[in-house]
């Protein structure tokens, strides 16, 4: 039994923070939590003192990529070996854990499943990983020769088994990912910023194709995430059962109504757009990507503000990949942007990165410091309730009640 005393406790549910709080942890899970005066410390328990600090649940990045790349040059992404990138992704996993992210949702990579399994069996340190494996795109879609110049797309099959067309192929592809052990399915229902020959406004996949993915995923109890930037592709995804919308640049009122109707979670990924515009040119991002990012940026931030004002559940997700300026370890940037650009309070931004982010994964025992949940805990000497940028500087991180 471990007794953790907290100066201020944010439990991730959205309830008001508790001062002079106490958490009891046994076998890696929370057994009791509340004001210290009402939570008795058992005899012989190990005491941990964070009574001068602010304690929150472990943070969750609900949209990133364990790609392991160290370059923003699309040509490098095909030149680098998958073995090298998987090795680098293990280093990124350690960095994420040390920076306070005790769980992540990897929405498209080759390294996600092996890195997850190595963390789970204790071989390497890292957060709890929920991964889609490789994502799915239609031919000539956002993931067809994903991020690569057109000349490469036409000269090699860069998409592999992630390129599917027709409902039958989509269904078979989803079943293959499930067999491989994916925790969710990731699809592309619009074009995107870093794919050369399409645009965020262009819809991709038919209704029948989207339904094939969601039917197969929901049959085994896992969610479907959709890269969806233009309004028509967002609506198609929501109407056909997708659980989370990623990016959502051009959300309109009908989209907001569908969010309310379906209960889907919005993961806006403001951080990558911010970094693309501010620093992308310095790190080899192609000009076509920079131009699309600049053109979409104002609408993206406005859509996120309107979703927030409408009460749509918003989860923290960065879309970080690994290389500068999207290096893992600085993932708290998304929470900073929620406060500075969207209008969330610091407490709301923390909930977006804990309790709400946990709604994007197929488990119900992370994201909040409530009885029965994993004791994933982060302590801060300088409170993020006072200044959200303090999220960048955790003093102590616990995963399953053990210091990381």
Structure tokens at 336: 């900073």
Q: Among all chains, which residue has been given the structure tokens 């990983």?
A: 129
Active site residues: 186, 319
Of the candidates 327, 284, 340, the one whose C-alpha atom is nearest the C-alpha of residue 149 is: 284
- Indicate the burial class of 182 (C-beta count within 10 angstroms; 0-12, 13-18, 19 or more): buried
Structure tokens at 114: 């092996």
User: Is the CB of residue 236 less than 8 Å from the CB of residue 247?
Assistant: no
User: Is the CB of residue 50 less than 8 Å from the CB of residue 7?
Assistant: yes
Tallying the residues shown for the chain, one arrives at 404
Dihedral sign, Cα of residue 208, residue 212, residue 213, residue 219: positive
User: Is the CB of residue 332 less than 8 Å from the CB of residue 340?
Assistant: no
59-64, strands of its sheet edge to edge: 59-64, 101-106, 128-131
Of the candidates 158, 160, 141, 148, the one whose C-alpha atom is nearest the C-alpha of residue 75 is: 148
Of the candidates 43, 54, 47, 46, the one whose C-alpha atom is nearest the C-alpha of residue 21 is: 54
| Phi, then psi, of 159 in degrees rounded to 5 | -80, -25
């Amino acid at each position: 039994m471990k007794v953790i005393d907290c100066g201020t406790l944010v439990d991730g549910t959205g309830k008001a923070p508790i001062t002079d709080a106490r958490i009891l942890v046994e076998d890696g899970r929370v057994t009791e939590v509340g004001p210290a005066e009402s939570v008795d410390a058992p005899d012989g328990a190990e005491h941990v003192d964070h009574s001068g600090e602010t304690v929150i649940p472990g943070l969750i990045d609900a949209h990133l990529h364990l790609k392991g790349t160290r370059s923003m040059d699309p040509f490098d992404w095909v030149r680098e070996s998958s073995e090298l990138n998987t090795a680098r992704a293990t280093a990124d996993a350690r960095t994420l854990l040390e920076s306070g992210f005790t769980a992540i949702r990897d929405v498209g990579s080759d390294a996600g499943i092996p890195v997850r399994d190595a963390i789970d069996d204790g071989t390497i340190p890292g957060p709890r990983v929920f991964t889609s494996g490789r994502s799915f795109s239609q031919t000539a879609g956002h993931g067809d020769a994903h991020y690569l110049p057109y000349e490469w797309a036409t000269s090699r099959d860069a998409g592999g088994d992630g390129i599917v067309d027709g409902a039958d192929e989509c269904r078979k592809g989803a079943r293959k990912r499930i067999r491989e052990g994916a925790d969710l399915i990731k699809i592309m229902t619009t074009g995107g910023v870093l794919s050369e020959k399409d645009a965020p406004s262009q819809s991709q996949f038919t209704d029948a194709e989207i339904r094939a993915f969601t039917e197969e995923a929901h049959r085994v109890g896992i969610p479907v995430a959709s890269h969806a930037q233009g309004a028509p592709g967002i609506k198609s995804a929501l109407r056909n059962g997708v659980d989370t919308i990623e990016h959502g640049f051009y959300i309109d009122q009908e989209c907001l109504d569908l969010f309310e109707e379906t209960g889907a979670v919005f993961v806006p990924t403001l951080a990558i757009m911010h970094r693309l515009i501010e620093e992308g040119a310095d790190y080899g991002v192609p000009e076509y990507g920079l131009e699309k990012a600049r053109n979409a940026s104002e609408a993206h931030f406005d859509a996120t503000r309107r979703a927030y004002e409408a009460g749509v559940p918003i989860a923290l997700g960065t879309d970080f990949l690994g290389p500068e300026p999207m290096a893992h370890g600085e993932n708290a940037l998304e929470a900073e942007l929620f406060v500075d650009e969207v209008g969330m309070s610091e407490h709301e931004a923390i909930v977006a990165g804990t309790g709400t982010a946990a709604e994007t994964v197929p488990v119900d025992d992370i994201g909040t410091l409530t009885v029965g949940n994993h004791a994933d805990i982060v302590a801060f000497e300088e409170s993020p309730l006072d200044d959200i940028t303090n999220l960048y500087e955790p003093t102590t991180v616990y995963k399953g009640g053990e210091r990381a």
